[in-house]
């Protein structure tokens, strides 16, 4: 760690300042300054914030705590406070604190990973589609958040034992979201952190209900966002489970995986189910034989037990959704709910066609512009599109991240995706070689992410973008050094 951070003067200033801020917060002075309408939870947040700063200042590796909290808090990015009259996400202070710690610490050694350079090269490819776009503030905000969290996580995961901290934070995030999701599905209510928790109910359309089952969203924007977040977390949790030695830690991780699996089933998102199974399979294939052989039996037993528990909780809706995987657009012999879902899949294929025909092929070089796909879908689609026009539907999109980007960015977006894929492959290969178990978990998570992108565009939303950014940051760090080895070349050194 840098001499600046270890100096007594900086630590003393931070400790004294955070202590004074804690005293002010306990008196309620901070709460009224950062929140328009004070509540009990907001009071707790204003007291907890300076205490976190105080604890971080006492730690040898303060970045670990800050980054872990940022990952856990990524799905809560929509929660905001008022600072100097401006509404700011509560994730922003954590990011700023992380940047400050990195700034006064020694730089990470070693060669930067390929993904980092791929991101730098790919960014200019977005400029023309962004200029051609209209009202793309949401896209820009999500992209900026993802990049900021990716950078912070890459710094932490490049430190000694930092990668395990990142994996553990993903596990806590998934377990917390799963618990909120199960509660939401059982009560039919959403979680309101600021005013009246549990008073807002889920909508009754297909996105949030199916065959009498409430599809929860946790603190994400919708159930698909939640299922994406859980899908990328499962292989990371499995990999972490294979590395811990403590029996209590293993038990907690097993419980977290089971909870996450049940919540994933409740989302009734078939693509995320496929992505999760594929992710775990890829991770198992990449594991060393000595680790893989004893892990397969209990992982299989665990998945079957989780499936049985999910079937009990979800009931016939789960079996109906599983059966529809092989015939997603068919309507013959199906229940009314399943027919509605099949028609939704028919709309999806229509949106794919519009994105390619009226988007990419119409403007093949630079596309139609970022955030213009929604209006294009509305102008050219029938059926479900009419509902969106009438204000009863949700945001129109290409129902595929790849087609959304290609339609809005043309060949420039194709080049961007290929550059991203190349960086991911290179850094994952380096990560698997350096630490086969954690590297296998990262590879599985990336596979889950890429499969989820085939049928949704929820990465455009800030909670999902933050989770994706954290994952990409871990992959970028894996391309730099061996995360599981204390003396690995390229780890952040300490003095």
**Per-residue pLDDT tens digits for 346-356:** 888 889 999 99
Same domain, 188 and 69: no
Give 401 or 8, the one with higher predicted confidence.
401
For residues 436 and 321, state if they share a domain.
yes
pLDDT tens profile 17-36: 888 888 888 887 888 777 77
pLDDT at 488: 44
- 269 and 381 in a single domain? The answer is yes
- Claim to verify: residue 142 and residue 41 sit in the same structural domain: no
Domain assignment of residue 266, yes or no: yes
- 102 and 119 share one domain: no
Same domain, 356 and 471: yes
β-sheet bridge partners, residue 86:
83
- In this prediction, residue 201 carries a pLDDT of 56
Q: Which of 226-240, 320-334, 338-352 has the lowest mean pLDDT?
A: 320-334
On the question of pLDDT at 335 being above 80, the answer is no
pLDDT at 495: 29
% of residues, the chain, pLDDT over 70: 84
The yes-or-no verdict on residue 337 having pLDDT over 70 is no
Residues 5 and 127 grouped into a single domain: no
Locate 164 and state its tokens: 């395990």
* Residue 72 and residue 135 in one domain: no
Say how many domains are in the chain.
Answer: 2
Residue 1 pLDDT > 70, yes or no? no
Cα 80 from Cα 82, distance rounded (Å):
7
128 domain-assigned: yes
In a domain, residue 494? The reply is: no
User: Given a cut of 70, is residue 384 above it in pLDDT?
Assistant: no
- Among residues 216, 244, 170, which one has the least CA distance to residue 445? 170
- Residue ending a domain, choose from 56, 79, 107: 107
User: Which of 15-24, 138-147, 245-254 bottoms out in mean pLDDT, i.e. has the lowest?
Assistant: 15-24
- On whether both 138 and 49 belong to a single domain, the answer is no
pLDDT at 476: 93
471-480 as b/e, with b when 16 or more CB fall inside 10 Å? bbbbbbbbbb
Residues 65, 166: Cα–Cα separation, whole Å? 10
**pLDDT at residue 202 in the model:** 58
Of 72-81, 295-304, 333-342, where does mean pLDDT reach its minimum?
333-342
Distance CA 92, CA 462 (A): 13
Q: Kindly indicate the confidence band of residue 211, based on its pLDDT and cuts at 50, 70 and 90.
A: low
Which residues lie below 8 Å from residue 149, measured CB to CB, with a gap of 6+?
70, 71, 74, 91, 95, 466, 469, 470, 473
Residue 220: per-residue pLDDT: 92
Domain boundary, last residue among 92, 107, 122: 107
Q: How confident is the model at residue 194 (pLDDT cuts 50, 70, 90)?
A: low
Query: Taking residues 335-357, what's their average pLDDT?
Result: 79
- Tell me what the mean pLDDT of segment 480-487 comes to: 48
In a domain, 38, yes or no: yes
Give phi and psi for 204, each to the nearest 5.
Answer: -100, 5
Confidence at residue 67, expressed as pLDDT on a 0 to 100 scale: 95
Q: Are residues 137 and 11 in the same domain?
A: no
Clarify whether residues 85 and 199 are in a common domain: no
pLDDT on residue 325? 77
In this prediction the pTM is 0.88
**Section 114-118 average pLDDT:** 85
Domain that includes residue 41, residue range: 1-107
User: Domain check: are 87 and 20 in the same one?
Assistant: yes
Q: Per-residue pLDDT for 120 more than 80?
A: yes
Q: Report if residue 492 sits inside a domain.
A: no
**Residue 390, domain member (yes or no):** yes
**Cα(80)–Cα(34) distance, integer angstroms:** 9
**Segment 257-285 mean pLDDT:** 92
Report yes or no on 476 lying in a domain.
yes
For residue 437, tell me if it sits in a domain.
yes
- With a cut of 80, say whether residue 277 has pLDDT above it: yes
Instruction: Give the domain-ending residue among 107, 135, 158.
Output: 107
Instruction: Give ∠ CA 398-399-400 in degrees, rounded to 5.
Output: 90
């Amino acid at each position: 760690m840098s001499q600046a951070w270890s100096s007594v003067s900086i630590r003393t200033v931070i400790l004294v300042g955070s202590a004074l801020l804690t005293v002010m917060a306990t008196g309620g002075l901070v709460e009224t300054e950062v929140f328009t309408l004070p509540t009990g939870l907001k009071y707790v947040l204003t007291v907890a914030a300076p205490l976190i700063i105080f604890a971080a200042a006492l730690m040898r590796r303060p970045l670990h705590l800050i980054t872990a909290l940022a990952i856990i808090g990524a799905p809560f990015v929509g929660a905001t406070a008022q600072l100097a009259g401006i509404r700011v996400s509560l994730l922003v202070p954590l990011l700023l604190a992380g940047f400050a710690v990195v700034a006064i610490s020694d730089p990470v050694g070693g060669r930067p990973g390929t993904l980092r350079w791929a991101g730098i090269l790919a960014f200019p490819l977005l400029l023309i589609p962004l200029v051609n776009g209209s009202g793309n503030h949401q896209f820009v905000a999500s992209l900026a958040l993802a990049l900021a969290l990716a950078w912070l996580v890459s710094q932490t995961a490049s430190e000694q034992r930092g990668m395990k901290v990142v994996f553990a934070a993903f596990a806590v995030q998934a377990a917390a979201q799963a618990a909120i999701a199960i509660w939401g599905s059982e009560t039919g209510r959403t979680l309101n952190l600021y005013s009246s928790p549990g008073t807002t109910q889920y909508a009754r359309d297909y996105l949030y209900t199916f065959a009498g089952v409430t599809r929860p969203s946790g603190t994400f924007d919708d159930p698909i966002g939640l299922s994406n977040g859980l899908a990328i977390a499962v292989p990371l949790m499995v990999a972490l489970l294979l590395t811990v030695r403590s029996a209590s830690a293993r038990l907690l991780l097993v419980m977290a995986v089971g909870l996450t699996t049940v919540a994933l089933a409740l989302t009734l998102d078939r693509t995320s189910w496929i992505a999760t199974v594929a992710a775990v399979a890829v991770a198992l294939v990449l594991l060393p034989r000595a680790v893989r052989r004893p892990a397969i039996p209990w992982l299989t037993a665990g998945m079957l037990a989780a499936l049985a528990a999910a079937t009990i909780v979800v009931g016939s809706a789960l079996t109906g959704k599983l059966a529809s995987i092989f015939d997603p657009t068919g309507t013959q012999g199906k229940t009314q709910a399943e027919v509605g879902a099949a028609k939704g899949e028919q709309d999806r294929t229509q949106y794919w066609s519009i994105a390619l025909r009226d988007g990419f092929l119409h403007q093949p070089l630079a596309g139609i512009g970022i955030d213009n796909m929604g209006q294009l879908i509305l102008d050219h689609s029938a059926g479900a599109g009419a509902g969106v026009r009438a204000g009863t539907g949700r945001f129109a999109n290409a129902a595929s991240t790849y087609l959304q980007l290609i339609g809005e960015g043309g060949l420039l977006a194709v080049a961007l995706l290929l550059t991203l894929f190349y960086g991911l492959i290179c850094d994952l290969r380096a990560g698997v070689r350096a630490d086969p178990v954690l590297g296998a978990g990262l590879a599985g998570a990336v596979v889950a992410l890429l499969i989820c992108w085939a049928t949704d565009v929820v990465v455009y939303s800030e909670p999902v973008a933050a989770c994706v950014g954290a994952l990409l940051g871990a992959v970028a760090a894996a391309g730099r050094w061996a995360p599981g080895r204390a003396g690995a070349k390229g780890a952040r050194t300490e003095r």
